[in-house]
Copies of this chain bind each other. A is one copy, B any other.
Amino acid sequence: MESVVFFENFKREDVLSNLLSAFQKEMQSVDQIIRNKIVSDVTNVPDISNHIFISGGKRLRPLLTLASARLTEYAGKSHITLAASVELMHTATLLHDDVVDESDMRRGRQTARMGWGNAASVLVGDYLLGQAFRLMVSTGSIPALKVLSDAAAIIAEGEVLQLSIMNNLDTTEDAYMRVVDSKTAALFSAATEVGALIGDQDHSVAAALASYGRNLGIAFQLVDDVLDYGHSSDIGKNAGDDFREGKITLPIILAYRRGDESEREFWRRTIEARDQKEDDFEKACNLLTKYKTLEDTRDRAAHYGSIAKDALVTFRETETRQQMLDVINFCISRAY
């Protein structure tokens, strides 16, 4: 099986740092563009922007744009601009997400809204989105603009959908997967697709990279959901945030369905009514373990990872292709 070849010798810890060093110079240019775009003499705009950018994050989405451009042997400079634009879009959604979710912590630090308030977080999010659009317009690539503006609308629609299923245990796995597809996978897909489109690649090449990005994004989100029920604080945000917010994610959907009546009553109290006692998070984790829903969610993630892998099969065997395959393993196996 070809997957064995792809997946063997995989060292999880090294993947992201390998990738970052392979794209270090370009990522520095991406960061420079972002730094230039968050300059403003209006108080709070650079403060809030710096706060969220300095706190880091994996820079996975812009890396994927750079990788897609390199995979398709793009020789220009516009992929740097598009990568910066993708990261700015992502950051704008984080600022709005934290307001919507009333989150206190993000990437191990206080959220911007805790320091500067909800109003400023909404508006600076709008500003970063505006800057993202200015950047992509500056490339002059209508195909890339089409993909990224489509993604902007789809992401927001997905966030509204997520809000509408909030605290609702009747949510089906299918309904949840639609949320994941739009709120997370749409930007991964756009990030990789524009890396191909900027080099005027054929539709089939752009479609293959879009498929890689989309399925990678789904896998990434599902593992993110799993990590929120981990006991580690490595992921930066508070483990247990999803539970406390009564957020419906795949581990919960599966545990609710697989549980007995008294267990369902527990989920209804804690997730739907959000009436939570001190040891409820531990009890929730035990139920997820009992019904193997974290394992199964990682299995579902691996399924999408396989699709992402197959999307790359038609590309020549290059170092870049291997790096992009490694990213899939990173996303599936990651513990942070």
Using CB atoms and an 8 Å cutoff, list the residues of chain A in contact with chain B. Answer: 40, 42-45, 93, 96, 99-100, 118-120, 122-124, 126-127, 129-131, 133-134, 136-138, 140, 142, 145-146, 149-150, 152-157, 159-161, 163-164
Contacts and interface: CB of A to CB of B under 8 A. Distances in A.
13 contacts: A42-B161, A43-B160, A99-B119, A99-B122, A100-B123, A120-B160, A123-B156, A127-B160, A129-B129, A130-B155, A134-B146, A134-B150, A137-B145
Nearest to A131: B153
Given A42-B161, A42-B164, 8 more contacts: A42-B157, A42-B160, A44-B160, A99-B122, A126-B156, A127-B153, A127-B157, A137-B145
A49 to B, nearest CB: 11
| Copies of this protein, total | 2
A157 B130 CA distance: 9
B96 A123 contact: yes
A179 to B, nearest CB: 10
A318 B99 CA distance: 50
Q: Is the interface of A mostly helix, strand, loop or mixed?
A: helix
Contacts of A156: 123-124, 126-127, 129-130
Contacts of A120: 160, 163
A27 B119 CA distance: 33
A149 B137 contact: yes
Contacts of A149: 130, 133-134, 136-137
Contacts of A44: 160, 163-164
A307 B7 CA distance: 68
A146 B124 CA distance: 20
Contacts of A145: 137, 145
**By CB atoms of chain B within 10 A, which of A44, A93, A122, A159 has the most?**
A122
A157 B122 contact: no
A133 B160 CA distance: 18
Q: In this complex, which of A42, A44, A126, A129 has the most chain B Cβ atoms within 10 angstroms of its Cβ?
A: A126
Contacts of A157: 40, 42, 45, 127, 130
Given A122-B122, A142-B140, A160-B120, A129 B100 contact: no
A130 B40 CA distance: 23
A236 B130 CA distance: 29
A4 B159 CA distance: 54
A96 to B, nearest CB: 6
A43 B164 contact: yes
A159 B100 contact: no
Contacts of A133: 133, 149, 152-153
A281 to B, nearest CB: 23
**Residue from A96, A100, A130, A154 with most neighbouring chain B CB atoms (10 Å):** A130
Nearest to A139: B142
Nearest to A161: B42
A153 B126 CA distance: 7
A33 to B, nearest CB: 14
Contacts of A127: 153, 156-157, 160
Contacts of A45: 157, 160
